[in-house]
Amino acid sequence: MSNRLVLASQSPRRAELLRQIGLPFDVHVTDVDETKLADESSEEYVERLAQEKCHAGWQLSKADSPVAVIGADTIVLLGDELLGKPAGLNEGKAMLTRLAGKTHTVLSGVAVSNGQRLESTVVSSTVTFKALSRHDIDAYIATGEGQDKAGSYGIQGIGGIFVERIEGSFSAVMGLPVQETEALLRTLNIDTWGMRCHG
């Protein structure tokens, strides 16, 4: 039996967060359809994607007998509108223009499976941006940092200078709520401290 987790994500932020909390893991990149269902709430949507990524990650890695697989997804909501990853520079600029001076919601779903059971949760955080000038937006877009991120910004990088206030989980806004991930692993009776000591 392997003493490692599998992170079913290609996100470097999620990998960084797992490293920060001292858990040994391997990465298996999954490919799931991220189309939102017509009757699905935003919370249901982000939790389903986390579950599907987790399930796909288990199918890819079960031969390695990992301790557990972690799947996650993060979305940004401005009011009821979902802001995904920008399709290009112009869409990124448009997103930041709309987020400027406003409060938006970040929903992060996380799912953990040991092959027999799958547990998941959704963490909601609110982020308030300061007012942004056109120069702020153009200069930030030119860094390329927001290209692969929901809402077109990264709170853990340069994008953090736009954040006036956050209520909730900083790590969830980054892409993986670490406290809740730890709690889900323990719900599956996974000895996370033992993994840290022997991983």
Catalytic residues: 73
Specify whether the CB–CB gap between 46 and 109 falls below 8 A.
yes
Residue 30 is inside which H or E element, if any? none
DSSP per residue, 47-104: HHHHHHHHHHHHHHHGGG--SEEEEEEEEEEETTEEE-S-SSHHHHHHHHHHHTTSEE
The β-bridge relationship of strands 118-129 and 163-167 is antiparallel
Q: State the Cα–Cα distance between residues 163 and 70, nearest whole angstrom.
A: 28
Q: State the Cα–Cα distance between residues 159 and 78, nearest whole angstrom.
A: 17
Q: Tokens in use for 100?
A: 């400027």
DSSP 34: -
Amino acid at 36: K
